């Protein structure tokens, strides 16, 4: 195998600011040279300057022109020309030059207008330096500009965009001190800030304050608060609030999104009908939100019904609608139908993008069809849609799951040759495929290479490596890797411990597993169901049933419910030691809590009952199993035949088994 090394990640180089000096006095060809002749000056109109600046795409040339005409007596820059130049510089992130222009306006005695100041704030927001916008705002009066509600709104919005919540409240306080009354835009920004800061009570109070001050909330206000309530599971409150005003489509969309997250299909469809009754017509966002929720929950039939309803009501699906449906079909393994939807999408004039192709590629990878996944990659490239890092990570992961090292390596090499730098996800997938092929030294080398390539491994990378080692009984190395994690800045999580515990119990290292459990508790790592099942299985295998019962008690106290695996482990353990009465009780309890006993549970129980009680009792449970629609596996028949042969001989065993099958056949007919 040969893997091309990834190129080092390029460090982001700080863009040098444009040098800005007004008195350079160059002479441009576009300006008549006799302009300097005082007796016969050429007058330059403001409109001409504005037009030239507006249409000059090269910021350097626009700035050179701006500087040049400032040195001629036939033209003096106006607030409008300064505004135009400040906007252009701000759009390019040249904030030093913007500050210089503001200072120049101050020196020339030109007052900075509200529009210019909002442009400056918006520019700082664009380059994500809202704190500098705030500092400039505190000097507002130096530039002959008075604070206005509009300027405050722009400043608050800039602070909000960077989640500077601690700065927003003082600025709002200053606004009130300046005697300025907040308008609906101000309140909407404050609402968004409170919602982003997860202050539900604050958002409620602000909504009341708006109404008390005669500033009626608009659709943005209601959409913000409805979305926030739904996000925090307060869907009923959101619904009650909607009933108090005439909602718009955006408000309904927010509420529908809340119902979809709770998978309340009936209520969602009810809202859809209610919208039509109130003549608030659903749009493509409405339908796509519902369709996406339905596909995520595996409800493909309702998803297709939503698509049909869209066409009937004259609402054209967009790329997100089609891609959501394709995703749902792919997750169900219905790839031919997913391709049909893709074809329908193209007929509608909507061409697949990276997300659509990645969804289809992922679908083929899920079912292990890597040939068609590669064909989809080729089709993606032929149609001018460039694969991205997500595409490559899906393919490498697909090859990793099937253990195909050559396929994964070829995709890796293709990615590197095209200049696409692997991210931590891609590296982790390659670690996985190397481990599956017993190439642990190469996997370790790749982890070390991640650091040199400025793409350090994360906890998932180490978990993947540890799992690979434990799966192949290299637990000693896995423990060394566990100790090494923190040197890479990675903290072990519950998955790390689960993989290690599973590996330790596999090699019967109960003592070290016990120490690892203690380490989990000391670090405050919360046990999950997988942890409990792993420890229970390990203890049962070691014959530590008393300790197992104590652990089961702890599990119950912490509110974790058994799953089918927990029951199967316990039924098997108690059946093996002959405590079949308790195993039978566990089987009945399994039914009561909503789990249907499977072939594994019955095999363990029947084996134990046969040894402890006798064949007749075992046959009763075998009959129950068949009645429940569970067909005995080959291993169970082999066990029963061997047991019968040892008791009544080969001929008697055959006759006995035939009689069982005949009686079950008669009862079913």
For the cut 80, the answer to whether the pLDDT of residue 316 exceeds it is yes
CA–CA distance, 277 with 315 (Å, rounded to integer): 17
Cβ 275 vs Cβ 287: under 8 Å: no
d(CA 528, CA 497) in angstroms, rounded, equals 11
- Tallying the residues shown for the chain, one arrives at 669
Spatial separation of the C-alpha atoms in residues 597 and 560, rounded to whole Å: 19
Cβ proximity of 336 and 307 under 8 Å: no
Q: Say how far apart CA 239 and CA 416 lie, in whole Å.
A: 51
Mean pLDDT of the chain: 86
Instruction: Pick the range with the lowest mean pLDDT from 131-145, 234-248, 345-359, 643-657.
Output: 643-657
- At residue 345, the pLDDT reads 92
Average pLDDT over residues 552-558: 86
Q: Which residue in this structure is represented by tokens 């393994």? A: 333
- Tokens representing residue 172 in the block: 């709002």
pLDDT of residue 669: 52
pLDDT-based confidence at residue 565 (cuts at 50, 70, 90): very high
Give 268's pLDDT tier (boundaries 50, 70, 90): confident
User: Do residues 86 and 119 make contact, with C-beta atoms less than 8 angstroms apart?
Assistant: yes
**Interatomic CA distance for residues 370 and 31, integer angstroms:** 65
Residue-wise pLDDT for 291-300, tens only, equals: 999 888 888 8
Q: Check pLDDT > 80 for residue 428.
A: yes
As a whole number of angstroms, the distance between CA 464 and CA 450 comes to 15
Tokens representing residue 268 in the block: 């969602």
Helix (H, G, I), strand (E, B) or coil at 181: coil
**Rounded distance between C-alpha atoms, residue 256 and residue 454, angstroms:** 43
CA pair distance 353, 333, nearest whole angstrom:
21
Checking if the pLDDT of 6 tops 90, the result is no
| pLDDT recorded at residue 528 | 93
4 backbone φψ class: left, alpha, beta (φ>0; ψ -120 to 50): beta
Contact 433, 403 (CB under 8 A): yes
> Cα–Cα distance between 610 and 643 in angstroms, integer?
8
pLDDT-derived band at 625, boundaries 50, 70, 90:
confident
Per-residue pLDDT tens for 469-511? 999 999 999 999 999 999 999 999 999 999 999 999 999 999 9
The CA R_g of the chain, rounded to the nearest whole Å, is: 35
The proportion of the chain whose per-residue pLDDT surpasses 90, expressed as a percent, equals 47
The mean-pLDDT minimum among 243-247, 346-350, 421-425 falls in 243-247
Burial class (CB in 10 A: 0-12, 13-18, 19+), 413: middle
For 561-669, CATH gives: 1.25.40.10
Percent of the chain with pLDDT over 70: 89
The structure's pTM equals: 0.71
Highest average pLDDT, of 25-34, 51-60, 183-192, 572-581, comes from 183-192
């Amino acid at each position: 195998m040969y893997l091309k090394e990834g190129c080092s990640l390029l460090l982001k180089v700080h863009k040098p600011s444009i040098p800005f000096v007004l008195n350079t006095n160059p002479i441009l060809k576009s300006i008549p040279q006799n302009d300097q002749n005082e007796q016969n000056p050429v007058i330059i109109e403001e409109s001409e300057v504005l037009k030239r600046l507006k249409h000059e795409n090269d910021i350097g040339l626009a700035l050179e022109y701006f500087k040049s005409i400032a040195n001629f007596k036939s033209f003096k820059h106006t607030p409008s020309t300064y505004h135009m130049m400040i906007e252009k510089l701000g759009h390019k992130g040249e904030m030093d030059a913007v500050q210089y222009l503001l200072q120049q306006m101050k020196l020339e005695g030109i007052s900075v207008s509200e529009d210019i100041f909002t442009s400056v704030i918006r520019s700082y927001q664009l380059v994500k330096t809202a704190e500098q916008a705030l500092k400039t705002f505190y000097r507002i009066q130096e530039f002959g500009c008075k604070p206005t509600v509009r300027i405050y709104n722009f400043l608050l919005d800039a602070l909000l965009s960077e989640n500077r919540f601690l700065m927003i409240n003082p600025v709002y306080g200053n606004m009130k001190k300046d005697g300025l009354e907040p308008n609906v835009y101000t309140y909407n920004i404050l609402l968004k800030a409170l919602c982003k800061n997860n202050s539900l009570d604050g958002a409620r109070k602000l909504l009341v304050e708006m109404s008390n001050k005669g500033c009626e909330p608009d659709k943005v206000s209601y959409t913000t608060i409805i979305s926030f309530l739904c996000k925090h599971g307060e869907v009923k409150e959101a619904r009650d609030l909607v009933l108090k005003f005439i909602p718009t489509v955006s408000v309904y969309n927010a509420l529908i999104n809340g119902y979809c997250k709770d998978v309340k299909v009936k209520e969602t469809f009810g809202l859809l009908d209610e919208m039509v009754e109130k003549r608030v017509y659903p749009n493509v966002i409405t339908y796509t939100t519902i369709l996406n929720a339905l596909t995520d929950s595996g409800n493909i039939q309702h998803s297709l019904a939503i698509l049909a309803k869209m066409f009937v009501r004259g609402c054209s699906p967009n790329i997100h609608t089609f891609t959501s449906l394709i995703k749902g079909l792919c997750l169900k393994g219905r790839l031919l139908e997913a391709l049909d939807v893709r074809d329908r999408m193209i007929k509608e004039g909507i061409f697949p993008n990276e997300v659509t192709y990645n969804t289809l590629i992922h679908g083929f990878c899920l079912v292990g069809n890597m040939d068609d996944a590669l064909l989809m990659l080729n089709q993606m490239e032929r149609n001018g849609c460039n694969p991205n890092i997500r595409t490559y990570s899906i393919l490498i992961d697909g090859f990793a799951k099937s253990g195909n090292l050559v396929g994964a390596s070829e995709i890796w090499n293709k990615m590197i040759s095209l200049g696409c730098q692997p991210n931590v996800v891609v590296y982790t997938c390659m670690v996985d495929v190397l481990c599956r092929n017993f190439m642990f030294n190469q996997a370790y080398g790749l982890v070390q290479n991640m650091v040199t390539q400025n793409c350090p491994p994360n906890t998932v990378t180490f978990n993947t490596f540890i799992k690979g080692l434990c799966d192949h009984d290299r637990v000693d190395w896995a423990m060394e890797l566990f100790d090494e994690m923190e040197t890479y800045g990675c903290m072990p999580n519950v998955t790390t411990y689960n993989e290690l515990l599973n590996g330790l119990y596999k090699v019967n290292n109960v003592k070290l597993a016990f120490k690892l459990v203690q380490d989990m508790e000391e670090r405050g790592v919360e046990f999950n169901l997988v942890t409990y099942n792993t420890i229970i299985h390990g203890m049962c295998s070691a014959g530590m049933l008393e300790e197992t019962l104590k652990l089961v008690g702890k599990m119950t106290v912490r509110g974790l419910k058994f799953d089918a695996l927990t029951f199967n482990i316990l039924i098997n353990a108690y059946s093996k030691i002959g405590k079949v009465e308790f195993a039978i009780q566990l089987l009945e309890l399994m039914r009561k809590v909503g789990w249907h006993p499977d072939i594994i549970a019955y095999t363990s129980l029947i084996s134990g009952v046969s040894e402890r009680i006798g064949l007749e009792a075992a046959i009763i449970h075998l009959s129950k199993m068949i009645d429940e629609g569970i067909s005995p596996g080959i291993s169970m028949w082999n066990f029963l035949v061997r047991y019968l042969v040892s008791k009544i001989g080969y001929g008697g065993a055959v006759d006995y088994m035939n009689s069982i099958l005949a009686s079950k056949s008669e009862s079913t007919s």
